[in-house]
A and B are shown apart, each in its own frame.
Chain A
């Protein structure tokens, strides 16, 4: 009896395994593996150019072209390793000598057999290796036929072997040193915290206000709810470009409008000025302008997310709470601060952590608005810029590792919070 049971359980477990396998395989290959690989890359000196295995390249040049049969032809092979750091291990060069081309003198180690010119480099080339080789030929009448390409008569080919630079085990801390010692690193780190913190905060405040507004039945409530979700549902690239244009100093609506009203005299380029100076009580206060705009964009784009959750939470607050407050004669404001807000505590904490983490990782928004200029550079932008702007994959990965470690701390916090929520 017991045996049947256990074999049934084993069969169920086996079925579960097969059913989970497709999801697990994709996630493991495209999410878990890259995270590990990112750690690996952060300890390696790898440039963008090293992603393709290095190849032995040869550029063929005719330095002295023959005019008539019997003239001399001088041919130059400019050879180099396409990678400046990674060696190539074994190289075989072969070229076809067209009829009518008679070698006058062959450089050492080069051979011709059956009109094929060959050379083998058994020890390969170092990274950054270059060599120029000259060949001298005399020409016969057969050479002067249309089949022969007079500019590249021999067309040399190479076969080479190189180790994949991503796999070699020479590890270094250089990338982390590079990232941390960068002049703007601490500013970037500060921006990386300020931006998601204020962005999350504002989007939640707006979410509460919007939810409070729609938390009752009235005509048009459904339409308004749909409308309020627009910024969240629309593609980021479309809304980011729209913001860039209406904030434009010359043709944007905001500047023209504010100048028409006399709010400011000069047009302001909201997305490319680091500071906006305000005279306050005789002292000049510097407002981080571009950063503020990026934070406002974030609040605008993500308040619908908070709005949805808070609205759902509102609808779960028991009516009796408000009814008994009515009996006690509590007003609107009293009810909001004493009943509604405390009831939101859980969902707001969760939302804040979630929004904070997502904004902390967010690349698209800042990149599309400012490209990280004017004091809006965050860690994700730094990752991109190191890896692809400076073509330094290693340094980009190191920045990504720093981001991931910080994120892991927030995640731990988040999962502790939602566990408490569930326990309640």
Chain B
């Protein structure tokens, strides 16, 4: 045994890692393929994990041998992987032409993944650091699959459900796929119903108006305040600077009862203006904090020179500070917009009249046994898509906002 192995050029540790990596890589790749296939088509692919591990181990071993003998091009690994689908077909229960093609492709990928997993590891002479490298690769790949899976799955589920009728999803809850061949009016039925019958068209408008107004009503006092705190000397400046962050920590749930009471008595509760006031107050401290941090990084020389040349304070702010701060202000503005758009608690507590509902509040109206899940998920998609669009379009800015909005440093 040992002799034949040394003939093949594999050390016992090399052999073991080839078997193990092959098994893991194959199980992972085929596993992902079968889950994706199960979720996206009506067919359930059952894979027997023990068989898969065996086939994978064989694949790992064969690849190690091929690599030792022929130097191992990746092309070979694809071919070798595809070949390993043959033993899998022997165990498979149902094989349609579609599954067969998919399986061959998936095994080809498994071959490539196995090759990648063993890349750069000398199979005849395995050292401690090689083993560690292999462990890191396993962890890294596992983590990657885990995170991509958990982040994507809920959103895929949401979008897919918005296109499926009750009968469709009950007949096969595992299938997240939907047929694009149906007429658009039928496919988009959930969206059409939600936007017309459930008035989401108006709610989009309300949410957008309130969020945009919040951005403006927050930015103006925050810019003025941040400028005063960074550029002007006045008694109590230090204390004020510190208390900004403290106020940002005040919880909404403590504010909600008194605000509900007072706004009810003032007749502000069930109005867009009331919501705008609350949203601005909640975002002013963090906006001020973020802008303060940014203004501190701006050089003062230019402003001071302009002051000496006779420009007024407001002239300085309008002509020097603001133009230099456009990226920061955009970042803060986006962050505030996101908070206002996503806000739930106050919209839920304050708004009673359907005419002024925001999307968050409108969603609650859909949460009813009578309303099919399709409509709720269509509503969820409608509320999510604009914010995701903004996020991707301005990712750099928004990430800056998120980071500065959280903690110092």
A-B pair count, CB < 8 Å, reads 279
> Which residues of A lie under 8 Å from residue B356 when comparing CB positions?
none
The dominant DSSP class at the B interface is: helix
Q: Is the CB of B402 within 8 A of A38?
A: no
> Are A19 and B173 also in contact (CB < 8 A) when A12-B232, A13-B232 are?
no
Q: Which of A236, A312, A332, A404 contacts B344 (CB 8 A)?
A: A236
Residue of A nearest to B376 (CB): A241
B293–chain A nearest beta-carbon distance, Å: 13
A53, A241, A422 — which one has the most chain B CB atoms within 10 A of its CB?
Answer: A241
Interface residues of A in 6-54 (CB under 8 A from B): 9, 12-13, 15-17, 19-20, 22-24, 26-27, 29-35, 37-38, 41, 46, 51-53
B259 adjacent to A30 (CB under 8 Å): yes
**Does A22 lie within 8 Å of B220, measured CB to CB?**
yes
Q: How large is the interface on B (under 10, 10 to 19, 20 to 34, 35 or more residues)?
A: 35 or more
A residues near B150, Cβ cutoff 8 Å: 300
User: Which residues of chain B have C-beta atoms less than 8 A from A342's C-beta?
Assistant: none
Chain B residues contacting A51 (CB-CB under 8 Å) are: 260-261, 264-265
CA distance A368 to B342 in the complex (A): 14
Does B52 interact with chain A (Cβ within 8 Å)? no
Contacting A at CB under 8 A, from B156-196, are: 157-158, 161, 169-170, 173-174, 176
> Are B174 and A23 touching (Cβ within 8 A)?
no
- Whether a CB of chain B sits under 8 angstroms from the CB of A102 is no
**Cα separation A212 to B204 with both chains bound (whole Å):** 38
A260 within 8 A of B: yes
Instruction: Verify if B70 is at the interface (C-beta below 8 Å from A).
Output: no
Q: Which residues of B contact A22 (CB under 8 A)?
A: 220-221, 224-225
CB-CB < 8 A to A384: which residues of B? Answer: 253, 256
Q: Are A239 and B154 in contact (CB under 8 A)?
A: yes
Q: Give every chain B residue within 8 A of A115 (Cβ-Cβ).
A: none
- Could you tell me if A12 and B265 are in contact, using CB atoms closer than 8 angstroms? no
Separation of A46 and B258 alpha carbons in the complex (Å):
12
**B391 interface residue, CB < 8 Å from A?**
yes
Q: Is B398 an interface residue (CB 8 A)?
A: yes
Cα A331 to Cα B388 in complex, Å, equals 40
Distance A238 CA – B174 CA, assembled complex (angstroms): 21
Q: Which residues of A contact B258 (CB under 8 A)?
A: 33-35, 37-38, 41, 397
Most-contacted residue by chain B among A26, A29, A33 (CB, 10 A):
A26
Contact of A305 among B237, B376, B406 (CB under 8 A): B406
Chain B neighbourhood of A213, CB < 8 A: 140, 143-144, 147
Give the distance to chain B from A217, nearest Cβ to Cβ, in Å. Answer: 14
| Shortest beta-carbon distance from A43 to chain B in Å | 13
Q: Tell me whether A421 and B409 are in contact in the complex, defined as CB-CB below 8 angstroms, given that A30-B277, A213-B143, A235-B342 are known contacts.
A: yes
The answer to whether residues A238 and B285 also contact, given A213-B140, A331-B128, A384-B253 and a CB cut-off of 8 A, is no
Closest to B224 in A: A19
User: Using an 8 Å CB-CB cutoff, how does the interface string of B116-138 with A read, 1 for contact, 0 for none?
Assistant: 00000000000011001101100
Note all chain A residues with C-beta closer than 8 A to B246.
Answer: 411, 415
What is the distance, in angstroms, from A149's C-beta to the closest C-beta of chain B?
29
Return chain B residues, CB-CB under 8 Å to A166: 261, 265
> Are the CB atoms of A238 and B384 closer together than 8 Å?
yes
A26 touches B363 (CB 8 A): no
Known A-B contacts A16-B234, A213-B140; the reply to A34 vs B151 at CB < 8 A is: no
Q: Which residue of A lies closest to B341 (CB)?
A: A235
Give the residue name and chain of the A residue nearest to B361 (CB): A237
A383 near B257 with CB under 8 A, answer yes
- A234 interfacial by beta-carbon distance below 8 Å: yes
In the complex the two chains form, what is the Cα distance from A407 to B248 in whole Å? 13
Interfacial chain B residues near A250, Cβ < 8 Å:
170, 173
Query: Are B391 and A229 in contact, with the CB atoms below 8 A?
Result: yes
Q: Contact: B174 with A363, CB < 8 Å?
A: no
Q: How far is the CA of A210 from the CA of B143 in the complex (A)?
A: 8
Q: Which of chain A's residues has its CB closest to B159's CB?
A: A242
Please, which residues of chain A bring their CB within 8 A of the CB of B384? 234-235, 238-239
**1/0 contact trace for A382-404 toward B, CB 8 Å?**
01100110000100110010011
Q: How many residues of A contact B (CB 8 A)?
A: 99
A233 within 8 A of B: yes
- In chain A, positions 353-370 with a C-beta closer than 8 Å to chain B are 354, 357, 361, 363-364, 368
Complex: how many Å from CA A19 to CA B234? 12
Pick the contact of A252: B129, B143, B173, B403 (CB < 8 A): B173
Interface string of A202-235 (1 = CB under 8 A from B): 0000100110110000000000111111111111
- A242 and B157: CB pair below 8 A? yes
Task: Establish whether residues B228 and A16, one from each chain, have CB atoms under 8 Å apart when the complex forms.
Answer: yes
Contact B254 A227 (CB under 8 A): no
Question: What's the nearest-Cβ distance from chain B to residue A215, in Å?
Answer: 11
Complex Cα distance, B227 from A32, in Å, reads 22
- Give the residue name and chain of the A residue nearest to B280 (CB): A26
Judge if A251 is at the interface, Cβ distance under 8 Å.
Answer: yes
Residue of A nearest to B409 (CB): A421
A364 & B344 in contact (Cβ 8 Å cutoff): yes
List chain A residues, Cβ under 8 A from B129: 329, 331
**B344: A residues at CB distance < 8 A:** 235-237, 364, 368
Determine whether the beta carbon of A35 is less than 8 Å from that of B221. Answer: no
Query: Residues of A contacting B253 with CB < 8 Å?
Result: 361, 363, 380, 383-384, 400, 403
11 contacts between A and B (CB under 8 A): A13-B233, A26-B221, A30-B259, A30-B281, A228-B147, A233-B338, A233-B398, A235-B344, A238-B380, A252-B173, A418-B407
A interface residues with partner B (beta carbon < 8 Å)? 9, 12-13, 15-17, 19-20, 22-24, 26-27, 29-35, 37-38, 41, 46, 51-53, 164, 166, 206, 209-210, 212-213, 224-239, 241-243, 245-246, 250-253, 255-257, 260, 300, 305, 308-309, 312, 329, 331-333, 347, 350-351, 354, 357, 361, 363-364, 368, 380, 383-384, 387-388, 393, 396-397, 400, 403-404, 407, 411, 414-415, 418, 421-422
Contacts A20-B224, A260-B46, A332-B135 supplied; 20 other A-B pairs, CB < 8 Å: A13-B234, A16-B233, A19-B225, A26-B281, A38-B255, A210-B147, A230-B152, A235-B360, A236-B344, A237-B364, A237-B380, A250-B173, A305-B402, A308-B402, A396-B257, A400-B253, A407-B249, A414-B249, A418-B407, A421-B409
